[in-house]
Chain A
Amino acid sequence: MTELTAQPVTLPARPAKGRAKFLIGGVVMLAAVVYLIVSNIGAQQEYFITVDELEAKQSDLVGRSIRISGAVIGDTIEYDGKTLTFDIVNIPDSAATIEDEGGLAKVLHEAVTNPDAKRVTVILIDQPKPDLLQHEAQAIVTGTLGEDGMFHADELLLKCPTRYQEAVPEQVGG
């Protein structure tokens, strides 16, 4: 019973001093937390780059932690149980632009059918081939650009405008 073990104490008159100590303690703690957050932002930031930008600034980017997104070309997916490679083509990086251009599904479709779109080969080693990796999926890959011009990814996130989102019954399509 901790409440009961509390000592009956006569209040010492020192709230002002106590408050100062509290403020200092609080400020020190907050400073530590701010430092923790800021230093880790510096260390862990992954830049969003489009395939176009990757091409343009190739030399500056080698070795830096970046994240690119693009439309997957189905024919280029190769997997031997160990090495997974596939090509992605450029799509706009902002959600607003994608909306303006008619939504993700349309943007992805146009990207993969455009023969002039910039593309880059993504390589992953010792990773399973994800279920969602298919033609016209949006791949978001995190990793580094290698000297070989390939994008060495260690994380792969896929988004698919599948039939499970935003669709209308095909049976009545026309």
Chain B
Amino acid sequence: MHILEYFGQLFTLQNLMWLCIGATVGVVLGALPGMSADTGIGIFLPLTFSLPPTTALICLGAIYVTGSYGGNITAVLVNTPGTSDSLFMTLDGYPMTLKGEGLKAIGVTTISAFVGGIVGCLALLFIAPMLAKIAFFFGSWELFLTVMMGIIIIIGLVKERALKGLMSAALGFLCSLVGLDGLTGVTRFSFGISAIYDELPLLPVVLGMFAFSQVFVLIAENRKSIVIEEESMKGSVWLSLKELKNLALETIRGSVIGTLIGIVPAAGTTVAAGLSYNLARNSDEDPDSFGKGNPKGLASVSAANNGVVGGSLVPLLTLGIPGNGTSALFLAALMIHGLAPGTQLFTTNGKYVYGLIFGLILANVFILLFGMFGARFYAKITKVPTSVLIPIITVLCILGAFSFRCLGFDMILVLFFGIVGYFMDRLGIPLAPFVLAFVLGKSAELNFRRAIMLMAGGSATSVIFTPLSILLIVIDVAMLIWPFWGSIKKLFKKKGAQA
């Protein structure tokens, strides 16, 4: 059967209906604090048992794709990332909204998410088996170096407030170590609280630091609405050709980074978005404008975010290795429908796999339609009086924090981190390094210690000096130096002039 015939089989009423249901559920869940694509796939998995495999995979794929995008809207408009994956959107997206460019911000995030998603799907469609081999080369040391990319990004983020940023990151790193040690099984830093015996849960911390702290900031600043100016939302969501051209490089680069990082098991969206953002910032003529509402920053992050979706399915479909939590749920879905992952999946069960991939492409088209035509409607959120918006955000965040583990303690946790986040914000201590270090800290420690054990057990050189590891070390060092390259060059020039 030709690949295009698989595309044709997608257009049945049943497939399209479930695609729309999945896509709508994904966007709504992605936008709601505490909900994510995982939640949607988890809930819809039993509902798809009775459906034909292609339809079931299309529905679940649509939830995955659009769930990843849904959080962008709330992150951009109200600084409330629906999921931790969207936290990078707040860096430039929310400042754009504050400048009255909320509509444009939705346009930028939608188009770049669409491009990122399509690039990921095309990689899945044409070069999946070849790309899947990359995943085999990643041992503990390589994974540590990959996670370190995310950590190094922090240094670039806090260049101007280096000391405060590093303190914030160190604190985030410490908090990430709360709970069970992944290697020895020893519980650390639970301080006698049984609810954090295994870990300090990610979602209440992220919701507290970003959403709740912002609620307190809005109250303290006595703002009547997020965007105050009357004329602020009069722009267009559609980008001009010139604007699209300006964003093209960041979008395409972000898409490729997202796809490649998605393939690496456990590297995740945070590393992809951070890496893409860092590259966009460091290669820009005006790096200081990043974090203050630069559309290029938003485009680079959105594209990487959605590129991860396609990328994470590459090792899953070809090797059976899930790259993240959501793709692990996907693995369950495949197996429930009697499909064993592997390269033969593309030959013997091609109609299901290609149906899924084309379904993912259509889900990305849905994102485009949903974002571009609904933008004016969503943008109205920013005009809602804070006296109405704050109670709504509060009840949703509290529910989101609870739903993560169904523990009442997590509601207290979200409030605690909200207050901590508020004071950090007021004292000029950046929040992003804390959250970034918190998200990546545990993985960095675990992989580092595993690599040390491997080195102790055998030859250290065979672990450290593999071609991939050398490449990653070079990238890490380059990323470390890059933000300060201008200052270093100036210093050398000055010394040269003095000599």
Q: Do A and B bind each other?
A: no
Write the residues of chain B forming the contact surface with A, with a CB cutoff of 8 angstroms.
Answer: none
Write the residues of chain A forming the contact surface with B, with a CB cutoff of 8 angstroms.
Answer: none
